[in-house]
Amino acid sequence: MKLDAVVRCLEARVLSGAQQLDREAVGAYAADLLSDVLNRTVPHAVLLTGLTNPQVIRTAEIMDLAAVVIVRNKRVSPELIALAQDRGLVLLATHRSLYESCGLLYMAGLPPVPSETLDGGLHGGDAEA
């Protein structure tokens, strides 16, 4: 699903990365625990979260996420938006709840992120390059 479809589906505001909405998202993951994001997401996934601290953007950068969606109309600081812009990250905000956002995207066809194995095992690999 392209990111502009995500924006329409969630009636989201685009806080950063408006020029990159033609990018494709491979799936979505929802978490308020960044440790889980660092364990579970794959490149080019969308992260849905209620967190608004700078570590969200850092984590998205490290994990090569396609976009971060901040849910339930949380206040997003100008510093966070500036950091996202600096890192070239798509940052979206929606009035919808986390549960509702996940449900809408799932119904629209955006799948859960595929599993990825990053341990010494020889399977898995990047979802998409």
Partner 1 sequence: METRKPDQTAPDGPARLELEFAVEGRDFAAAGNAASRIKRALEHVGFAARAVRRASITAYEAEMNIVIHARRGVIRACITPEAVTITADDEGPGIPDIELAMQEGYSTAPEDIREMGFGAGMGLPNMRKCSDRFSIESRVGQGTAVRAVIRNERRGTEGRGLDR
Strand, coil or helix: 83 = helix
Q: Where does 22-97 have alpha helices with state H?
A: 34-40, 54-62, 78-86
Q: Which residues contact 84 (CB under 8 A, 6 or more apart)?
A: 15, 16, 17, 57, 68, 90, 91
Sheet with 45-49: strands ordered across: 13-16, 90-93, 67-70, 45-49, 27-30
Q: Which two tokens stand for residue 70?
A: 């901040």
Tell me: does residue 36 bind partner 1 (CB under 8 A).
Answer: yes
Q: At its nearest, how many Å lie between partner 1 and the CB of residue 108?
A: 26
Piece in contact with partner 1 (CB under 8 A), picked from 1-9, 21-29, 106-114, 118-126 = 118-126
Tell me: does residue 16 bind partner 1 (CB under 8 A).
Answer: no
* Closer by beta carbon to partner 1, 35 or else 107: 35
* Interface pattern 39-78 for partner 1 (x via CB under 8 A): x---x-----x-x-xxxx-xx-xxxx--------------
Binding site for partner 1 (CB under 8 A): 31-39, 43, 49, 51, 53-56, 58-59, 61-64, 87, 118-120, 122-126, 129
